[in-house]
Amino acid sequence: MCAELWNDTFGKFHPASAPDYLPVPQLRLLQLQRLQAVVLRAYDYVELFRERMGQIGLLPRDLETLGDLRLLPFTVKNDLRDTYPFGLFASPMQEIVRLHASSGTTGRPIVVAYTREDVEVWTSAMVRTFAAAGLHQGDIVQNAYGYGLFTGGLGAHYGAEALGATVIPISGGNADRQIMLMKDFGSTAICCTPSYFIHLIERAGEMGIDMKDLPLRVGVFGAEPWSESMRQYIQANSGVEAFDIYGLSEITGPGVGAECTEHDGLHIFEDHFYPEIIDPETGEVLADGQEGELVLTTLSKKAMPLIRYRTRDITRLYTEVCPCGRTVRRIARIGRRSDDMFIIRGINVFPSQVENALLQMGGTLPHYQIVLTRDKGLDEMEVQVEVTPEIFSDSVSVMESLNERVINVLEQTLNLRVGVRLVAPHTIQRSEGKAKRVIDERKI
Ligand code: DLL
């Protein structure tokens, strides 16, 4: 495990010795050294970075200060898609111990890779995340993030285990079993999306269980935007202290940033993930405190370094020092994105994925709308799509089988079973400007 976190003979984690508290000049020096090394690595081993730097006549040795970072070109999600599956890897496959994947803007997923060292850095960031939420050895962590290609499950699992907590690797789904184990095993913490936890609160109520009577003390919630009012609702109805955690597969997974007990912004573990805020229109770097798009550079990644990756997440960097004493900077909670991606039950969905799938089917017209609702805390998605006049005038059984086919095709594309409603031609409102594809009726 990362030596930086384990510094007594019993292998026990000391939160106060984590790099969260490095004196700022020491932190900046460490960042500069790591930046120079990671840019050199990307330049040496990844064609895309070498070509892009070549186009602007920049060499790794030109980076003399952290401020020089802004000379480097951005990386975007489409770069991962265009080089699918392994084009951005900077390590040979023999050194890669893990792959994860998440949705891209079209059918192709984006793939991310980790060396053993990358997994250790990721784990250490998750240990710091849990420690910031006040968790420690002896806690029983129910991990209801999905295990699999999604980074949430394994990321939280490795972190909680390395912290010394007891992990229940239950993964997502099956609310009744979640509640039963939470009660029987005495879980003291839960990790899942905030919307799923609201669903669990309601389901527990229906089962005659008040979460406030259980030992559950802490919720580690992320993977989707949620509001302060959602936090208030969760805390009032479950008795847990709710922490916001942030991350994205491209950079590592969960563990890029996390709230401390001040609950005022998320600390970015910036010794590994260097943050900048840019104007999403012009790409210009904004001053701390101004709202814009978060751009992250992986300072320690070996298998797949990303330089100035545009997250599309809108936030701002705090200028004030946190009363908790951590020196790593904070970002404001993320409420929106600068693109049209939305997140449903923790899964990223782009309207263009739905559109491509529908257009390849036959029988449907390119007029569709996606309606998002929340039923008892659980996100629901319905795709309403017009069918051709021929199909519409055909028998009920033809419509039913098309309906089933659309559901299946969307499930294959999105990894999500969604509702589908076939409607008559010309029933979906036409727009005069940009089509409004997504109607989000989800409230808290
Ligand atoms: O959602 C990683 C993760 C897992 C984070 C578990 C936290 C907990 P992706 O599937 O690649 O990775 O989705 C990344 O989700 O760019 C944001 O738009 C959004 N997101 C993640 N955390 C938050 C959050 C994981 N706390 C995308 N608040 C990101 C708002 C979030 N949005």
pLDDT digits (tens, 9 = 90+) for 311-370: 999 999 999 999 999 999 999 999 888 888 999 988 889 887 888 888 788 888 878 899
Ligand 1 atom closest to 250 (CA): 11
Rg of the chain's alpha carbons, rounded to an integer?
23
Q: Ligand 1 centroid vs 247 CA: distance in angstroms?
A: 5
- What's the distance, CA 112 to chain centroid? 13
Q: Domain 1-337 maps to which CATH number in 3.40.1390.10, 3.40.50.12780, 3.40.50.10140, 3.40.50.880?
A: 3.40.50.12780
Q: What is the mean pLDDT of residues 48-59?
A: 98
pLDDT digits (tens, 9 = 90+) for 98-133: 999 986 555 678 999 999 999 999 999 999 999 999
Q: Ligand 1 centroid vs 85 CA: distance in angstroms?
A: 21
Query: How do 109-115 and 140-143 pair as beta strands?
Result: unpaired
Assigned token pair, 37: 């090394």
Q: CA 343 to CA 438: how far, in whole Å?
A: 12
Ligand 1 pocket list (CB less than 6 A): 102, 145, 151-152, 222-225, 244-249, 253-254, 311, 313, 334, 337, 343, 348
Ligand 1 binding pocket mutation candidate from 102, 171, 334, 345 (most atoms within 8 A of CB):
334
Ligand 1 atom closest to 220 (CA): 8
44, pLDDT greater than 80: yes
Assigned token pair, 133: 């939420």
- What's the distance, CA 7 to chain centroid? 30
Coil, strand or helix at 154: helix
Q: Where are the alpha helices (DSSP H) in 95-227?
A: 116-132, 151-163, 175-184, 194-206
224, pLDDT greater than 90: no
φ and ψ at 308, to 5 degrees? 50, 60
1, pLDDT greater than 50: no
Greatest mean pLDDT among 46-60, 354-368, 382-396 lies in 46-60
Q: Ligand 1 centroid vs 313 CA: distance in angstroms?
A: 9
Whole-number Cα distances in Å, 279 to 53, 268, 312, 316, 442: 21, 20, 11, 11, 28
Q: Which fold has domain 342-440?
A: GMP Synthetase; Chain A, domain 3 (3.30.300)
Q: What is the pLDDT of residue 15?
A: 64
The one-character DSSP state at 257 is E
114: closest CA among 272, 275, 266?
Answer: 272
Ligand 1 atom closest to 249 (CA): 11
Ligand 1 atom closest to 335 (CA): 30
Q: Ligand 1 centroid vs 402 CA: distance in angstroms?
A: 34
Q: What is the pLDDT of residue 18?
A: 82
The residue whose CA is least distant from atom 27 of ligand 1 is 248
Give the mean pLDDT of the chain. Answer: 92
Q: Where in the chain is the domain with CATH 3.30.300.30?
A: 342-440
383, β-bridge pairs: 370, 420
Q: Ligand 1 centroid vs 388 CA: distance in angstroms?
A: 38
Assigned token pair, 116: 């053993």
Whole-number Cα distances in Å, 154 to 40, 144, 237, 258: 30, 11, 28, 17
Locate tokens 């050294």: which residue? Answer: 33
φ and ψ at 95, to 5 degrees? -95, -5
Sheet-wide strand order for 309-315: 273-278, 292-298, 309-315, 336-337
Whole-number Cα distances in Å, 124 to 5, 15, 120, 354: 7, 11, 6, 37
Q: CA 196 to CA 95: how far, in whole Å?
A: 36
Percentage of residues of the chain with pLDDT beyond 70: 94
pLDDT digits (tens, 9 = 90+) for 150-177: 999 999 999 999 999 999 999 999 999 9
Q: Where are the alpha helices (DSSP H) in 133-223?
A: 151-163, 175-184, 194-206
22, pLDDT greater than 50: yes
Q: What is the pLDDT of residue 335?
A: 82
Q: Where in the chain is the domain with CATH 3.40.50.12780?
A: 1-337
Let me know how many helices (H) and strands (E) the chain has, helices first.
11, 20
Q: Is residue 384 within 8 Å of residue 418, measured between CB atoms? A: no
379, pLDDT greater than 50: yes
Q: What is the pLDDT of residue 9?
A: 46
Q: Ligand 1 centroid vs 156 CA: distance in angstroms?
A: 13
